[in-house]
């Protein structure tokens, strides 16, 4: 009876399944790039804390099924180190902070690079550095231009410059001029218009001695004459600048130039080896500076593009030795000075072979050039001298025509 009742119940009531249907699938957002966690298309793997694996909710990780819980946890902020961060926010925040710091650093670096590139170049030790103790004590290196208490007067740009030539007699001429009360000159060669032009005119004027009204400021740098940019730069300073060029027989000048170099470096080749490209053919090497400087016509042509011939005075280096008072008379006239320096100021130094200034009134001793002046020249083969004479002759003739003076070198 009981069995038949059970069969009747089974017939009318279908069996009930006790299994729980799986929760509906909730898509999990893809992990942020660079998080190290696989995307939803990748097979499930272990992810960092707070980022659920694809297809698994946080509840599933804890062993229980919680439909929809994983998606909510993926969007829920979390705390880490006392800070509230979005999912994956720690890495993104660090990356953003790094980018901001790098951007700020490079911005400041670029800003300061632009600022410092616009500033004038600093005064560095070397050929552009003014002497620490000028002979006359009047130049204060790096000092401000203009009026000053020491000695009175003002620092002015030079009204006259001895621009050349090297080993022509420029030092002797400058020393003779400094004996004149109307002339104040820089003792050392400033080399402003050839080497130190980037220091600016203010720096250049600070090197000048103070002068009173009626006095002339001067400087001498013989390398200006062979510097291509020097005429334009001096013209931009003052087109009224008077220019003095001391010239000498280019062959004698070249030998003197070589002698000076030889005294500093005894291992250099012979004069003949340096003067010729090919000794057998007699081809002159004009790239050697000792030869190139003596092509006066070529250099003067560059200067005449900026200054008229009336702004030049060409002084003979030979006559400056044989007749210093006569050449000094011409120089004083050119500068508009009274002829104060005359023959009574000179005596001939037999040892050195050139004139020196006599002892000035109130002075301690005569003024003569230093030991580096008057060196004995090495003996040069006469065939070499003759070949150089032939080379320079057309240039000398051209120079005579340009200046209107015959210096008697041929």
Give per-residue pLDDT as tens, 256-286. Answer: 999 999 999 999 999 999 999 998 889 999 9
| 327 contacts: CB under 8 Å, gap ≥ 6 | 173, 315, 316, 319, 320
pLDDT band at 12, cuts 50/70/90?
A: very low
Closest CA relative to residue 284, chosen from 292, 271, 275: 275
Q: For residue 361, what pLDDT is reported? A: 58
Closest CA relative to residue 162, chosen from 142, 146, 178: 178
pLDDT above 80 for 232: yes
Is 167 within 8 Å of 116 (Cβ atoms)?
Answer: no
CB count, 10 Å around CB of 114? 9
Average predicted confidence (pLDDT) for the chain: 78
Strands 160-164 and 216-220: parallel
Q: For residue 88, what pLDDT is reported? A: 54
Q: For residue 151, what pLDDT is reported? A: 55
Q: What's this model's pTM, rounded to 2 decimal places?
A: 0.66
End-to-end C-alpha distance for the chain, whole angstroms: 159
Which tokens in the block code for residue 335? Answer: 């500068």
Let me know the angle formed at the C-alpha of 23 by 20 and 27, rounded to the nearest 5 degrees.
Answer: 165
| Residue of 81 and 221 predicted with greater confidence | 221
CA–CA dist 163, 170 (Å, integer): 9
pLDDT above 80 for 253: yes
What is the distance of C-alpha 248 from the center of its chain? 33
Which DSSP category does 132 fall into?
S
Mean pLDDT of all residues in 160-176: 96
Strand partners, 278: 283
Mean pLDDT of all residues in 117-123: 42
Which tokens in the block code for residue 300? Answer: 């003067």
Mean pLDDT of all residues in 231-246: 98
Q: For residue 40, what pLDDT is reported? A: 45
pLDDT band at 169, cuts 50/70/90?
A: very high
Length of the chain as a residue count: 410
Q: For residue 45, what pLDDT is reported? A: 47
Q: What is the pLDDT of residues 84-116, one digit of tens each?
A: 445 555 677 777 777 787 777 666 655 554 444
Q: What is the pLDDT of residues 312-358, one digit of tens each?
A: 999 999 999 999 999 999 999 999 999 999 999 999 888 777 889 88
| Residue of 80 and 238 predicted with greater confidence | 238
Mean pLDDT of all residues in 209-236: 97
């Amino acid at each position: 009876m009981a069995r038949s009742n059970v069969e009747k119940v089974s017939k009318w009531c279908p069996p009930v399944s006790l299994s729980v249907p799986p929760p509906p699938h909730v898509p999990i957002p893809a992990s942020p790039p660079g998080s190290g966690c696989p995307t939803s298309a990748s097979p499930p793997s272990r992810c960092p804390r707070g980022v659920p694996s694809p297809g698994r909710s946080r509840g599933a990780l804890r062993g229980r099924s919680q439909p929809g819980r994983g998606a909510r946890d993926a969007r829920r902020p979390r705390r880490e180190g006392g800070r509230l961060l979005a999912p994956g926010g720690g890495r993104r925040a660090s990356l953003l902070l790094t980018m901001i710091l790098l951007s700020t650093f490079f911005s400041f670096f670029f800003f300061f690079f632009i600022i410092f590139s616009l500033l004038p170049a600093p005064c560095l030790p070397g050929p552009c550095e003014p002497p620490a103790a000028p002979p006359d004590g009047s130049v204060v290196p790096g000092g401000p231009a203009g009026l000053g208490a020491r000695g009175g007067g003002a620092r002015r740009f030079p009204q006259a410059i001895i621009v050349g030539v090297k080993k022509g007699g420029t030092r002797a001429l400058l020393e003779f001029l400094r004996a004149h009360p109307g002339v104040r000159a820089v003792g050392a060669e400033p080399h402003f218009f050839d080497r130190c032009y980037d220091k600016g005119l203010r720096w250049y004027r600070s090197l000048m001695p103070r002068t009173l009204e009626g006095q002339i400021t001067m400087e001498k740098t013989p390398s200006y004459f062979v510097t291509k940019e020097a005429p334009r730069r001096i013209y931009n300073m003052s087109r009224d600048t008077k220019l003095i060029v001391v010239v000498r027989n280019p062959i004698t000048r070249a030998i003197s130039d070589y002698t000076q170099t030889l005294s500093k470096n005894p291992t250099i080749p012979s004069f003949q080896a340096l003067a010729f490209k090919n000794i057998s053919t007699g081809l002159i090497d004009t790239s050697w500076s000792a030869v190139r400087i003596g092509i006066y016509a070529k250099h003067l042509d560059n200067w005449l593009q900026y200054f008229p011939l009336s702004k030049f005075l060409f002084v003979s280096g030979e006559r400056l030795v044989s007749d210093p008072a006569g050449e000094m008379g011409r120089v004083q006239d050119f500068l508009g000075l009274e002829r104060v320096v005359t023959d009574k100021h000179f005596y001939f130094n037999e040892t050195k072979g050139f004139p020196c200034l006599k002892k000035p009134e109130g002075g301690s001793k005569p003024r003569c050039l230093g030991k580096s002046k008057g060196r004995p020249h090495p003996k040069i083969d006469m065939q070499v001298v003759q070949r150089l004479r032939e080379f320079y002759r057309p240039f000398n003739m051209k120079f005579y025509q340009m200046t209107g003076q015959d210096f008697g070198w041929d």
